[in-house]
């Protein structure tokens, strides 16, 4: 029998088992016989201990010099880079994405840490002119205190890195809860900070069910900020549960459109659809899920999309040449298959949509990428977030109709337009209701140094993640009037 490694929480600088002693196993979605690791099924008492440790560590960490805090980020980045190959393979085993993408995610996390280590050195307050020669008025920025970070399973390293790095470098302490479906990658990120010498209690890592751990790390009086990425429903619950003095930063769902008009290069539009809709098995919050195609080119577009989709290679992320890996969890597989069944009743299934169970697929969560055409605008697959490799092609009558359909949703995370017409490029950036706007690019992807977030139900209307905006969330401002 293969040995299953057991991983622990990090609380107050010590790796420790949960107080209740319970654990849970995480399995490989490409082969569920492969148990990746055993993790702590923490309870409220563990979460309370983590919050207490973070609160106790805050006064000393706040007083650390900015350069001292930045050095820990730089050393943690170096640790991630050194172990990127190993950690990337572990990420592929626990979450399913292709090995090269998994390694790149750790390298991107390291890049994020380096960015914030440098950028925080130039992020400060302002001085305000006034008419009193004996008065100086300025703002000074200070950390908030204890910050809760709750991250999802689809990007289990890069997303917490862009939350934890600015939180720590600004002088906050952190309680980090990763998704129970991909906890090992979050643990490796935590391990990097420990190896870099982060003081005890400054970063705490707790695994377990949201229902057990969540109420404490969200509702504790000591928690001054919560940064969450996940479903809109969960984000709404967390936002409502937070106290008036607690900041929230919620990055939530999307139903992201790609608009293809008759001025577009059809082959390029097809390639962008496949990359945006099927990479990561469609499990990206910014993934393309609706393609709004002008009727005059719809037949040609769908035909070419179907051919290229059917040619995609499905398999384990560890297998070279794989285009699409498994879905990450059994629950996600059930959800996607349910939506595909719904789509068969609502629209025309052009290609794919079958679960794969033979041979190498027998013990994994594999499904063929699906393309639906003749999709009514009111169809569930046109309006609800599926979070899987399912594309809904919707007919539109020109630019204005496409914008109306694209904006007719509760979400506003990411949107893209494929066109050769420079006039439409300018109009699109003005007209679309999305926080991330792409032109002749996929709906997916964002720069480390640029703000990221959505509109409407895709994000809270507070602070963006990434870039300098990502620093601002973790700092509070005081206005100082100093007389002589």
Contact 19, 46 (CB under 8 A): yes
Q: What is the pLDDT of residues 65-91, one digit of tens each?
A: 999 999 999 999 999 999 999 999 999
Which stretches does DSSP call E strand in 31-166? 31-40, 127-128, 135-143, 146-150
Between β-strands 256-260 and 414-418, what pairing exists: parallel, antiparallel or unpaired? parallel
Do 314 and 417 lie in a common domain?
Answer: yes
- pLDDT surpasses 60 at 191: yes
Edge-to-edge strands, sheet with 173-177: 14-16, 9-11, 203-205, 173-177, 146-150, 223-229, 247-251
Mean pLDDT for the stretch of residues 220-249: 93
Do 61 and 186 lie in a common domain?
Answer: yes
Q: Which DSSP helix (H) or strand (E) runs through 432?
A: none
Do 225 and 264 lie in a common domain?
Answer: no
Q: Which DSSP helix (H) or strand (E) runs through 412?
A: strand 411-412
Give me the domain span that covers residue 264: 256-447
Q: What is the pLDDT of residues 394-446, one digit of tens each?
A: 999 999 999 999 999 999 999 999 999 999 999 999 999 999 999 999 999 99
Longest dimension (CA), the chain: 81
172 phi and psi angles, rounded to 5 deg: -85, 165
Q: State the chain's mean pLDDT as an integer.
A: 96
Q: In terms of Cα–Cα distance, which of 68, 103, 112 is closest to 82?
A: 103
Is residue 383 a part of any domain in this protein? yes
Cα 229 to Cα 186: distance, rounded to the nearest angstrom:
14
Do 248 and 260 lie in a common domain?
Answer: no
CATH code at position 141 = 3.40.605.10
Helix axes 99-119, 84-95, angle to 10 degrees: 120
CATH code at position 307 = 3.40.309.10
For the beta carbon of residue 254, count every other beta carbon within 10 angstroms.
30
Mean pLDDT for the stretch of residues 119-143: 95
Cα 225 to Cα 484: distance, rounded to the nearest angstrom:
36
Is residue 452 a part of any domain in this protein? no
Q: What is the pTM of this model?
A: 0.96
Q: In terms of Cα–Cα distance, which of 396, 442, 201 is closest to 294?
A: 396
Helix axes 398-407, 422-431, angle to 10 degrees: 30
Catalytic residues: 251
Q: What is the pLDDT of residues 133-144, one digit of tens each?
A: 999 999 999 999
Instruction: Give the percent of the chain with pLDDT over 90.
Output: 95
Do 417 and 300 lie in a common domain?
Answer: yes
Provide the domain count of the chain: 2
Cα 324 to Cα 30: distance, rounded to the nearest angstrom:
11
Do 232 and 327 lie in a common domain?
Answer: no
Do 110 and 247 lie in a common domain?
Answer: yes
- The predicted pLDDT at position 243 comes to 87
Is residue 454 a part of any domain in this protein? no
Lowest mean pLDDT of 232-241, 433-442, 445-454, name the range: 232-241
Cα 347 to Cα 42: distance, rounded to the nearest angstrom:
44
**CA angle in degrees (0–180, nearest 5) for 94-100-106:** 70
Do 239 and 300 lie in a common domain?
Answer: no
Q: What is the pLDDT of residues 278-324, one digit of tens each?
A: 999 999 999 999 999 999 999 999 999 999 999 999 999 999 999 99
Which residues does 471 contact at the CB level (< 8 Å), separation at least 6? Answer: 116, 119, 120, 123, 166, 169, 170
pLDDT-derived band at 1 (thresholds 50, 70, 90) equals low
In DSSP notation, 301-355 reads HHHHHHHHHHT--B--TTSTT-SB---SSHHHHHHHHHHHHHHHHHSEEEE--PE
Do 287 and 168 lie in a common domain?
Answer: no
Cα 333 to Cα 389: distance, rounded to the nearest angstrom:
10
Is residue 134 a part of any domain in this protein? yes
Do 439 and 477 lie in a common domain?
Answer: no
- pLDDT surpasses 70 at 256: yes
């Amino acid at each position: 029998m293969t040995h299953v490694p057991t991983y622990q929480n990090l609380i107050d600088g010590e790796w420790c088992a949960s107080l209740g002693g319970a654990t849970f196993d995480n399995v490989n979605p490409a082969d569920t016989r492969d148990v990746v690791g055993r993790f702590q099924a923490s309870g409220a008492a563990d979460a309370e201990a983590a919050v207490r440790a973070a609160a106790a560590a805050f006064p000393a960490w706040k007083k650390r010099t900015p350069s001292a805090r930045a050095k820990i980020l730089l050393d943690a980045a170096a640790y991630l880079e050194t172990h990127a190959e190993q950690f990337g393979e572990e990420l592929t085993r626990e979450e399913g994405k292709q090995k090269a993408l998994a390694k790149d995610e750790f390298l991107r996390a390291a890049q994020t840490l380096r960015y914030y280590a440098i950028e925080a050195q130039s992020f400060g307050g302002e001085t305000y002119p006034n008419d009193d020669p004996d008065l100086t008025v300025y703002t000074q920025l200070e950390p908030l205190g204890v910050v809760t970070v709750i991250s999802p399973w689809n990007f289990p390293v890069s997303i917490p890195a862009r939350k934890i790095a600015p939180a720590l470098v600004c002088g906050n302490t952190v309680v980090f809860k990763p998704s129970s479906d991909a906890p090992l990658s979050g643990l490796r990120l935590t391990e990097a900070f420990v190896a870099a010498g982060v003081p005890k209690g400054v970063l705490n890592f707790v695994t377990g069910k949201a229902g057990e751990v969540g109420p404490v790390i969200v509702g504790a009086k000591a928690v001054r900020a919560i940064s969450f990425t996940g479903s809109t429903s969960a984000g709404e619950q967390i936002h409502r549960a937070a106290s008036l003095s607690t900041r929230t930063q919620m990055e939530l769902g999307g139903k992201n459109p790609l608009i293809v008009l008759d001025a577009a290069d059809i082959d390029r539009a097809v390639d962008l659809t496949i990359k945006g809709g099927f990479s990561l098995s469609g499990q990206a919050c910014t993934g393309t899920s609706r393609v709004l195609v002008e009727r005059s080119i719809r037949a040609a577009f769908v035909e070419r999309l179907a051919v290229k989709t059917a040619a995609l290679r499905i398999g384990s992320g560890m297998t070279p040449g794989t285009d699409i890996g498994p879905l990450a969890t059994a629950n996600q597989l059930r959800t996607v298959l349910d939506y595909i069944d719904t789509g068969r009743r609502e629209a025309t299934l052009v290609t794919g949509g079958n679960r794969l169970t033979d041979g190498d697929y027998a013990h994994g969560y594999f499904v063929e990428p699906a393309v639906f055409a003749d999709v009514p605008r009111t169809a569930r697959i046109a309006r609800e977030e599926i979070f899987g490799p399912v594309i809904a092609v919707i007919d539109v009558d020109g630019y204005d109709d496409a914008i109306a359909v694209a904006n007719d949703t509760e979400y506003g995370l990411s949107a893209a337009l494929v066109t050769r017409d420079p006039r439409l490029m300018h109009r699109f950036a003005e007209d679309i209701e999305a926080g991330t706007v792409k032109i002749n690019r996929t709906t997916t992807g964002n720069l480390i140094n640029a703000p990221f977030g959505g509109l409407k139900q895709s994000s809270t209307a507070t602070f963006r993640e990434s870039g300098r905006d990502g620093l601002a969330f973790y700092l509070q401002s005081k206005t100082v009037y100093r007389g002589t």
